[in-house]
Amino acid sequence: MTKEEMTREDYNALVNSILSIMMKKGISSTTMDQLATKLRISKRTLYEIFISKELLVGEILKVYIDLVWGNQIKIAEKSANIIETLIKIFIYSRNLLSEINLDFYRDMEAHFLMQKDYEETAISYNIHMLELIKEGIKKGLIRNDIDYFIMYRLMLVQMNFLKRMDETFPPDISMYDVYNTIFLGFMRGIVSPQGMSVLDNCLRDYPDLTKKSIIE
């Protein structure tokens, strides 16, 4: 059976099932034999549909990116303003991170790095967030005197770096707390005075994002 011989519904169901498995085990740790066993199909059928594991992974990551984008758009549509949108998207991403094997993210990054168009792929993956920031500038909630593209990329670098350090944090600091701190530092660095007021009001609804200072 080839991809062309499958209905769109059956193909989408298969890809989503594979994505679910890889999100729990990691991409590199999931073999074609394991997938065939879990899905109750032959390994030969998997190769007939995807030709190679590399092509399979490419399809899986496209579905994952579409999933994330789709949820980001839904969050934006239901939020009162850009600041609330960014907070809710961060919380969604943070919670997703807590549910997925970190090896999945590491393997995904390694896959993208092997692509000739890595920079284009990485930017495309985050284009929706960059568009939200542009909209925030138009509405006066985000500063127009900073390079928000660099600010956003720096935040991503920090967060991606943390995914490799999950076992090295001291016992009194969790990756969860560090993510919150990085995100809030990013937000407070890009919002305008008007946006800061909106941010402070929004944070009252999300007390888990902030911690009381230990310095009295």
Q: In the chain, where are the structural domains located?
A: 3-209
Specify the pLDDT at position 214: 46
Mapping DSSP to helix (H, G, I), strand (E, B) and coil, where does residue 191 land? strand
| 67: its two tokens | 């999933």
> Any idea which architecture 3-209 has in CATH?
Orthogonal Bundle (1.10)
Specify the pLDDT at position 116: 53
Q: What is the pLDDT along the chain (216 residues), one digit of tens a residue?
A: 778 888 999 999 999 999 999 999 999 999 999 999 999 999 999 999 999 999 999 899 889 988 888 898 899 999 999 999 999 999 998 888 888 888 898 888 787 776 655 455 555 557 778 888 899 999 999 999 988 888 888 888 888 777 666 666 777 777 788 889 999 999 999 999 999 999 999 999 988 888 654 444
Cross-strand pairs, 154: none
C-alpha pair distances (Å), 29 with each of 48, 64, 102, 133? 21, 18, 12, 36
